[in-house]
Amino acid sequence: MSTLKAKQPILWLPEPEEHDYPAAQSFLSLLLADHHALAAVSSLRAAPMSQFKAKDIFRASGLSTLGVSNGHVAKDLDKIDAGKPLSPLLLMRDSAHGRVVVADGYHRLCAVYERDEDALIPCKIV
């Protein structure tokens, strides 16, 4: 009999949490004028749910992964291990630069990638 512990499946909430939207707006206001950041978040609220593989989101964003030594990533890994659902990501296409901006959920993305790079991540994208 194998002594390896079965991996806990990654669970997701059906929609992003309400506090994710102001966090996304705060981040996006570093990249965009305030009124554009507000408009982007309004569009995210109305956007349908989608899903993409963790590795594809990283490739499209050009971001580096944070490891388990990051406290926020470690907390999200603990949530996964405890069977607690994570909030979907909020993404924005930056067509001018051919990238995807992770407006909210970077640490969750890193935690999921650490666990399974092929995992499908629910998200809203505009």
**pLDDT tens digits in sequence order for the chain, 126 residues long:** 444 445 778 999 999 999 999 999 999 999 999 999 999 999 999 999 999 999 999 999 998 888 777 889 999 999 999 999 999 999 999 998 999 999 999 999 999 999 999 999 999 999
pTM: 0.90
Residue 43 is predicted with a pLDDT of 97
* Domain extent listing, the chain: 20-125
Exposure on the CB side of residue 82, measured as CA atoms within 13 A: 9
Residue 69 to residue 32: CA distance in whole angstroms:
31
Which architecture does CATH list for 20-125? Alpha-Beta Complex (3.90)
Residue 1 is predicted with a pLDDT of 43
94, with CB counted inside 10 A (0-12, 13-18, 19+), is middle
